[in-house]
Structure 1
Amino acid sequence: METDQINIAIVDDHTLFRSGIAALMGEFDELKVIFEAENGQHLQQIIGNYPLPQVILMDINMPGMDGYAATHWLKENYPQIRVLALSMFEDDQAVIGMIKAGAGGYVLKESKPRELLEAIIAINQKGVYINELVSGKLIRSVSGNEHPGLSKKELEFIKLCCSELTYKEIADLMFVSPRTVDNYREALFLKLNLKSRTGLVLYAIQNEIFKF
């Protein structure tokens, strides 16, 4: 049974990588590569010349206009476009910055083509993509206003994790020791089956604990 193709675009300042991803993604029947751009400024210049992509693969560190600024601009001007961040490393702060700007998830640049395809399909359908590095299983609350099993302190900790504060700074704000914050983190990882701070941020967004 034929399904509609997902229109995608790729924004990355490394020409060989960008072209390689475009060629690999173009081999999947489910996808159609609409255009490529070398940074956020280039994206702004050419986006009006093509059909709008449904998903944009966005590099984070680029000269001129980086992934943060480009994603923020997209969310203000083309909120219907899903943004999937491309990260060289699993850097929580960088990924949280991209999510704060409006990205719905991220993939590592070393991911296999099939994994990237699955990420694109998932973010196109759900608006959010959770990879295995972030979470083995993201648990959704039955109600966005209720968070069974989470204490007030744990909810406060999750909200603070959505900032750029270090764990030490979070501990100071919560008037607890760094060890107590470590305990909150490990308890939440266990309760929610998450594996990183980025996972906590995505959980907070999905369950309306925190809104950027």
Structure 2
Amino acid sequence: MFLRRAAPALSKRTGAFRPAVVARRGFAGSVRRFEERPREGNPKPGEKDKLLTPLSEIKDEHDLMPPGAAPGTIPTDLEQATGLERLEILGKMQGVDVFDMRPLDASRVGTLEDPIVVRSFGDEQYVGCTGCPADSHNVIWLTCSRDRPIERCPECGSAYQMEYVGPQDDGHGHGHGHDIHDSGDGAHNYEGEPKTMADFVKPEYR
């Protein structure tokens, strides 16, 4: 009741509320001004442009340095990305999936004689197995490496093998023996790797 009576008095003292004056600009005028500016942006896939370095011409990290954006403009990813991010972007612009982001082959169960091959640029590769067919069980993460390239899912038994496709002259000091060695006591392990409980599993169960 008090507020109902006090509201008119307050409005008389302070004066009527007036909305802030906003400069009006027609939509057509905004579009015209935008079109008057030089149109900067990423080239379309397959289009030749100075920003698109062909993958065949990339030899080292210096070829993955971006030119940067023009002064006063906001850079796009293609203009400012460096290193592996730039390599991935350049690959996508040229229709190449550099890091092979396709899902794993879930059409069959990998065996030790015919494992599911997973390519990797690094010394290790994490593999998420969901069984065959896909999503038959929860994700089981396996670690394949250059020293131990074959791993087997403990849930479904599917075997995976890492295929190293990175640079061969990476200075990796030790050999990458892919053979399983039997020490005579029923254990088997990869050369240069300490024994774990997995080494005491019978070979036919791996």
TM-score scaled by structure 2?
A: 0.23
**Larger-gyration structure (1/2):** 2
Choose between structure 1 and 2 for higher RCO, CA contacts under 8 A separated by at least 6 residues: 1
When you count helix as a share of all residues, which structure comes out higher? 1
- Give the TM-score normalised by the residue count of structure 1: 0.23
